[in-house]
Structure 1
């Protein structure tokens, strides 16, 4: 006998993977079936307003006993088609629910009264709908219009500034780039602090899918995290379960919070049949660029150090000169240059050479949705196309999304069946590399780009007659032509993603309900990396292929019992019990051809078979299962006092030895929670100004599961050696007592509504302690392993969240509403294992691998300090903090120091919406105060003399000061002859030791950028070019952005009806329009990725953030 899970899995997979012809036929038949009863109906229409006659925009009008309903428009109007008399339920946040009986043809005038309680229903864990007033924990929701009004290609970015306690850092690497989201801070040293994503009740993956640090080991190419494929036009609402009490029913997957996404269904539309078109076009340009200098060109020590631009003069002639901008003044003097055919030509600046390389990025998003609805069925079929041409030439993204929702009620609404499917096809011929990588990062080349080189002079990037063999550039030592990188060294991918689930909900009787759900999330992705011959770092070229597949299935059942449904009962009891079976399979493989045998421009050279020295193969396969049971007991005393008790028990395969099948002592673990809500305003007489006051409190325990194969060794197949199979074992030795990380949390809060809904305040204070941190500790090499995975350490998170809603003005023609979200969280490392010396644990021991220097920058957990310390060498300082100099150059410490933590003091989001008749204006500002960020981009730009450095709060020296300059002539043999014009020097700010050993002001002058690393900027930013100093380029990461702007016009009814439309809205939209920050050169809202982990507080050669402005058109037929 097959299990229920197996049967359901087979049914869903057959439906998903049937051939296109049959699938289209099935969908057509279902559409006809769902909509056939929706015609020949009459209309009930009306207007919903408050006691002052002001229209209620967005009020919900629902036909009781069915799933059919609609919402009121800008004028408070609604219409529903029906063939019989019905009872309508009208609801609006902060107002009493109203019930009205109506017959077809009726025109209603409905007035809502302010309520002293919250009747709003919100989505909670396991997809359970609850009245918000009954919740003893914090849940904050986002509506469809808030998500999709101003388009974001990654739906996670659309949440920025809109939810208190949620931190979102967006990458700038294009539309496919990742977004780092955390809720109430980081609680794990493993690096995975992303929340669990739930779509239509079923978990989906949000992994990065990076298995190393890129092609050459120094950077990760950001193909994006997985949740970004959820299309904002298909989302009905998002609920954020912030604390463990809210997410406790998800057990060991809930330590970082939960994001519940509910997609749209046909029932969201009151019409029997409708079509909706939503289309946006966005134009994007760089939000912030460095302040490039335009006075001095390429070279070193004031000399142009090339004979003809492609041949370096000699190893004894200023090694640090090549690829940098410490050369002669660009005053028009005649110098032989790379593109002058041996002739001396004017040496002049190209001030916009980098800006001119960037293209105006174009993003167009079009969604078409077909909705059908009848009394007992509804459906929605949606198609979305996203196309992007990137900021960097020859980069972009194509994404096609097909979303299906089918719902049917049978047996007098006793049985409800729902099916949801989302298929996403994403492709790109080239994803830009934003890391420190000479082989494929344009941003790397900008650090050293000669300021005299016009970018269009580099467009012909092959040497004449050497196409496919040798590139052409201004210098031939260590930097690649940017056009060559953009068009030849590409990072392509093709991805298929399918998220589907089926839901069966049966009302057994008035007291019992049984629900079963089965969902599958499947990812299949291929990646190809091409590096052309003559690439610096990969001179013979290379080719690599990655294969990635991931599958997660969840089978879940839930039995709900309500033995006291009668409203006359003083105490209402609701009991829910259920279980879940989760299974994951992941397969990763890499095939790398490190050297091409044959060269050329034909695409056929980029194959695994065209290998000079063999192909390197690596693969990894992981499987994990999690079995769970859970229960929820809800008690309601007189609709005034509520108590929830939950418990979940998990059994995890990650704590089972994969070879012996033996489980360790922590194989089974449980997570309890308790929460209460007290409606103070219903128990005590309150001032007339207070309509609603709720106090809440909760305690909960959740976990963070151990990685697959953490307990016991496993063997992974690799490329065979001759005819012999090869397997590799883990690099870590298992701890037989390893257990999951656990978090215990306490939270109190209040919900206050005043002045008939004019002021709404939600506040929460919480404390979370996360124990048994899973960490890597080194072991002796003689053991045959690199490290052991074990438990140890505690992290605490404490904070406050405030969400304040204000209806500043509410009138018939003009409305002004504001939403303010404030949050402050401090994640502190309370303890670390005693075996860790000095109380300092490197989460990432080498943030920028492959970089020059003998002392790496670190991302650190330090006992007693804020989590996420930025560590590296610092400056030796005097008692007053002044930098100590020796021979005119800054001295560096011999031991590493901390430059602070990435964590901000607080975050703030402020949204204002103004509505005047049919015109509305939405403005969202958000940002943070405090925190630290290290910018390797700025450090290297200054080291190379490429920028002015007049906006650096750390070093008040301009790179234009103290330069040595030479003029140049040529002898009869064509060799350069230099004449000193000015001996440059600067005096670094700080102190030095005098002959008596006393600290006195520094008076020793040195060149700004001299030969042999004697320049001040070399030594200030990088300890002689090694980039080891963390203090030199770490800045206060305070910033605020004009995150979103929308100006919308609702076309009057008489206009759109004459066009055959039911609704029309036109909007001008903008995203990231303004940035306010004192961080030089970069947007501080960024991060690095290392070994598939987000590293906050570190930036390296990031692609510029983008300012976007465009138009959105929404039409309903």
Structure 2
């Protein structure tokens, strides 16, 4: 045994005495000794000296213990055994209390495993499929398998590695790795009782308990579980107070969304669509009426449902007050997906939708062709002699004319990124054939989005781009003209449907195939349904691209400034091809057919800038405020040429039947050559403030002022209009001292809003029109009306929200809406010189 120094012998004797004489009661004694400290950024040695003065304990340590490191500690008369863990937190120092000493030593690092594995479960013990398991602070990670299992390699370069485990609907959990190689991790369900966050106006996230109006949120699963080419139709039946009516155009057609009933007689009552906080102001294309042939489409139908993260439905005027006049009828706020930090993730989906007619008119099948009440036997009527087994052909539109529609959808998306940069890309296709012959709809979507953070995460940049190619053929229009259903429904029951399925027959005189339809037009321009399908072609191609960018910067931890810009351009080419022998009312009286092409360009540029405040004052008060300005500039240009193919009746040289080009059109006044368009711009300033007290009482105020170009005419009574809203919510469950066990949450809310809507463009200005027949300008046709006021909708609502029995949610709303200052066009006498 080596010789020991006198100091080492003393320390050894002290340790032996401490262990054998006072070891057991040491912890009990430290619990009785109180220490009071309040030191900020001082050497650890200084704190140790102060503890020695207050407790009479002595620290024993060797030179390898770093006592010069800077620490901060605060303890208000806490026991010594609670103070020491605070002092040595996040250090490599361990301690042992032996009366009357505190012996310090350096923690021995455990051997780090290079490979780890484990399982992720829910609270019920079932494995969670697809949970993300990351080495915190890195991009190294994986996802759990079918049983919730995972395995990955720990990088040697990471100090004190930790596992970050997350999954949608569960609380994220962080687990230190240490020297462990296997893990059994249980994730807790996310709490939705009070702190649920929803996306509201301008894309601002707010606590649900603070909202004074009704907001209903729909996640992406509810949209993609039963996909529709127009995802708006997937919301049908999922949102209270919202009526969604699909048009007759078929797959990809527009849908009308009415929230809380019609509000305006002369203007639209359709809801506003908002994508990532930016309003999509482009209106739906006008559909065909009785005398038109064009189906109707809607820009919102172009969005790929697989790109949607969630949807917030703002049904009341107060909810949409910050969006301006276009949101007077409510708003549907769509939040799209972005890249996620972690490993590369690729998702592919495919679906098939089968369509058949659901409800058809009730047909009579007792009487055959003709009409016994008139002396002339009308071939297009079905009120002739009574049918029997011998002369009944059994025609049924459901079985004989309609076909089974099929819509195939495929989508693939890619998500990758780090904590500083995330990327998302998706591509999707929808190819469909409708239930009416020769009706098709094809759409291809390509989306890119990248989000980055800079300057210690104070600055964030979000850029995105989308391209949509859409082609459709014969989208069904309403009314009678060009509608194949007219002939299919009214086909006489005493005739053979197989006879007219060969819809065209060759004419040896004119040397072209002509329509076969012995029933005649029935005075309603009725044609062979198959001829309308295959020889009255209405084809459309749309190229649309959208570019957007958003930049935000955190000036302080409670003060943020942000700006956004979005460009949405759409180029549309619509063609009409009416073959020779089509009803001449459809071909402008030409026996050789009709051709038309319309090229339109829609452009929207939107930009806004916001100053955002989110600050708390002490433990009781909170303030969330937003001040901003925005502009929206919309432009529409159209170039149209449409007319009959010259047939020689007006003395001009006869054209070539069924040759569809502009050179072949008649030079008569029936050929339309038109260039038209419009432009609108709205400039706005707005502000909102939400004041909260003790997380229980919330007061919300908003105000917005719009300067729309429709009001800019010399005869407009008002150049702008202001509309406010006010709301109050109280979380009663935080006030009631003894809440019933089965009632977890209850909130009372109320709000009032006044929203203005500009009248239609040109009403306050003189208007002239182009005389297509005379090829000249008409005199002034619209008298400029004076002293017009913006349309005004005032609405208030009160509501109650409850959550009980863990799985039940009740949201009750009473609302009252009143719209005034509506503008009508009553028509005036031509004797005034105006129309």
TM-score range, shorter chain: 0.7 to 0.9
RMSD, aligned α-carbons? 3.4
**What's the counterpart of residue 711 of structure 2?**
655
Structure 2: segments with no counterpart, 5+ residues: 1-113, 649-653
**For the Cα contact (< 8 Å) 1:66–1:376, is it kept in 2?**
no
Cα distance in 2 between the residues matched to 1:506 and 1:282? 45
2:622 counterpart of 1:575: no
**Alignment deviations for residues 353-384 of structure 1 (CA, whole Å, 9 cap, x no partner):** 66312222121111111221212111111111
Cα distance in 1 between the residues matched to 2:144 and 2:196? 16
2:819 counterpart of 1:743: no
Secondary structure (helix, strand or coil) at the match of 1:782 reads helix
**What's the counterpart of residue 272 of structure 2?**
196
Cα distance in 2 between the residues matched to 1:49 and 1:62? 18
Compared CA separation, residues 586 and 782, structure 1 to 2 (3 A):
same
**What's the counterpart of residue 424 of structure 1?**
468
Q: CA deviation at 1:744?
A: 1.6
Compared CA separation, residues 643 and 378, structure 1 to 2 (3 A):
same
2:759 counterpart of 1:712: no
**For the Cα contact (< 8 Å) 2:119–2:127, is it kept in 1?**
no
Compared CA separation, residues 116 and 143, structure 1 to 2 (3 A):
closer
Compared CA separation, residues 402 and 746, structure 1 to 2 (3 A):
same
Cα distance in 1 between the residues matched to 2:580 and 2:473? 19
**What's the counterpart of residue 483 of structure 2?**
441
Cα distance in 2 between the residues matched to 1:454 and 1:185? 46
**What's the counterpart of residue 759 of structure 1?**
808
Cα distance in 2 between the residues matched to 1:43 and 1:143? 34
Cα distance in 1 between the residues matched to 2:153 and 2:424? 18
2:339 counterpart of 1:266: yes
Compared CA separation, residues 202 and 753, structure 1 to 2 (3 A):
same
Cα distance in 1 between the residues matched to 2:660 and 2:492? 32
- Indicate the larger mover: 109-118 or 501-510: 109-118
**Alignment deviations for residues 693-748 of structure 1 (CA, whole Å, 9 cap, x no partner):** 111111112122222223212456676967xxx44577543322112211122111
2:662 counterpart of 1:613: no
Q: CA deviation at 1:69?
A: 11
**Alignment deviations for residues 158-180 of structure 1 (CA, whole Å, 9 cap, x no partner):** 10000001101122431132211
Cα distance in 2 between the residues matched to 1:137 and 1:697? 7
What number of residue pairs does the alignment pair up?
699
**For the Cα contact (< 8 Å) 2:214–2:316, is it kept in 1?**
yes
**What's the counterpart of residue 364 of structure 1?**
408
**What's the counterpart of residue 233 of structure 2?**
157
Cα distance in 2 between the residues matched to 1:203 and 1:42? 49
Secondary structure (helix, strand or coil) at the match of 2:442 reads strand
Cα distance in 2 between the residues matched to 1:243 and 1:71? 41
Query: Paired residue for 1:297, among 356, 364, 368?
Result: 368
Cα distance in 2 between the residues matched to 1:414 and 1:733? 56
**For the Cα contact (< 8 Å) 2:579–2:657, is it kept in 1?**
no
Secondary structure (helix, strand or coil) at the match of 1:456 reads helix
**Alignment deviations for residues 781-819 of structure 1 (CA, whole Å, 9 cap, x no partner):** 223333xxxxxxxxxxxxxxxxxxxxxxxxxxxxxxxxx
2:498 counterpart of 1:456: yes
**For the Cα contact (< 8 Å) 2:682–2:706, is it kept in 1?**
yes
Query: Paired residue for 2:375, among 317, 330, 354?
Result: 317
What is the correspondence of 1:168-179 to structure 2 with a 5 Å cutoff? 168-179=244-255
2:340 counterpart of 1:254: no
Q: CA deviation at 1:56?
A: 8.1
**For the Cα contact (< 8 Å) 2:656–2:664, is it kept in 1?**
no
Query: Paired residue for 2:696, among 631, 640, 656?
Result: 640
Secondary structure (helix, strand or coil) at the match of 1:458 reads helix
**What's the counterpart of residue 346 of structure 2?**
275
What is the correspondence of 1:259-658 to structure 2 with a 5 Å cutoff? 259-267=332-340, 271-301=342-372, 317-318=375-376, 321-331=378-388, 347-352=391-396, 355-437=399-481, 440-464=482-506, 465=508, 466=510, 468=512, 470-478=514-522, 479-536=526-583, 537-538=585-586, 540=591, 541-562=593-614, 564-565=615-616, 568-597=618-647, 604-605=659-660, 607=662, 609-611=664-666, 613-614=668-669, 615-657=671-713
2:297 counterpart of 1:239: no
**Bigger radius of gyration among the two:** 2
**For the Cα contact (< 8 Å) 1:68–1:373, is it kept in 2?**
no
Cα distance in 2 between the residues matched to 1:66 and 1:684? 45
What is the correspondence of 1:130-149 to structure 2 with a 5 Å cutoff? 130-149=206-225
Secondary structure (helix, strand or coil) at the match of 1:778 reads coil
Q: CA deviation at 1:534?
A: 2.0
2:771 counterpart of 1:694: no
Secondary structure (helix, strand or coil) at the match of 2:198 reads strand
Q: CA deviation at 1:602?
A: 7.0
2:202 counterpart of 1:126: yes
**What's the counterpart of residue 110 of structure 1?**
186
**For the Cα contact (< 8 Å) 1:49–1:76, is it kept in 2?**
no
**For the Cα contact (< 8 Å) 1:253–1:705, is it kept in 2?**
no
Q: CA deviation at 1:523?
A: 1.8
Compared CA separation, residues 728 and 637, structure 1 to 2 (3 A):
farther
Q: CA deviation at 1:513?
A: 0.8
Compared CA separation, residues 426 and 239, structure 1 to 2 (3 A):
same
Q: CA deviation at 1:142?
A: 0.9
**For the Cα contact (< 8 Å) 1:237–1:263, is it kept in 2?**
yes
Cα distance in 1 between the residues matched to 2:571 and 2:317? 32
- Indicate the larger mover: 617-626 or 373-382: 617-626
Cα distance in 2 between the residues matched to 1:288 and 1:349? 22
**For the Cα contact (< 8 Å) 1:281–1:363, is it kept in 2?**
yes
Secondary structure (helix, strand or coil) at the match of 1:443 reads helix
Structure 1: segments with no counterpart, 5+ residues: 1-40, 303-315, 334-346, 787-1117
**For the Cα contact (< 8 Å) 1:595–1:612, is it kept in 2?**
no
Q: CA deviation at 1:542?
A: 1.9
Q: CA deviation at 1:197?
A: 0.6
Cα distance in 1 between the residues matched to 2:696 and 2:138? 28
Compared CA separation, residues 653 and 57, structure 1 to 2 (3 A):
farther
**For the Cα contact (< 8 Å) 1:196–1:253, is it kept in 2?**
yes
Query: Paired residue for 1:166, among 231, 239, 242?
Result: 242
Cα distance in 2 between the residues matched to 1:630 and 1:45? 52
**What's the counterpart of residue 25 of structure 2?**
none
Q: CA deviation at 1:188?
A: 0.8
Cα distance in 2 between the residues matched to 1:405 and 1:114? 28
Query: TM-score, with normalisation over the residues of structure 1?
Result: 0.58
Cα distance in 1 between the residues matched to 2:254 and 2:192? 43
What is the correspondence of 1:90-109 to structure 2 with a 5 Å cutoff? 100-103=174-177, 107=183, 109=185
Compared CA separation, residues 654 and 690, structure 1 to 2 (3 A):
same
Compared CA separation, residues 370 and 243, structure 1 to 2 (3 A):
same
Cα distance in 2 between the residues matched to 1:65 and 1:139? 36
Query: TM-score, with normalisation over the residues of structure 2?
Result: 0.77
What is the correspondence of 1:841-880 to structure 2 with a 5 Å cutoff? none
Cα distance in 2 between the residues matched to 1:495 and 1:53? 51
Query: Paired residue for 1:684, among 727, 732, 736?
Result: 736
Q: CA deviation at 1:445?
A: 0.9
Q: CA deviation at 1:571?
A: 0.8
Compared CA separation, residues 383 and 474, structure 1 to 2 (3 A):
same
Q: CA deviation at 1:653?
A: 0.9
What is the correspondence of 1:1020-1039 to structure 2 with a 5 Å cutoff? none
2:726 counterpart of 1:671: no
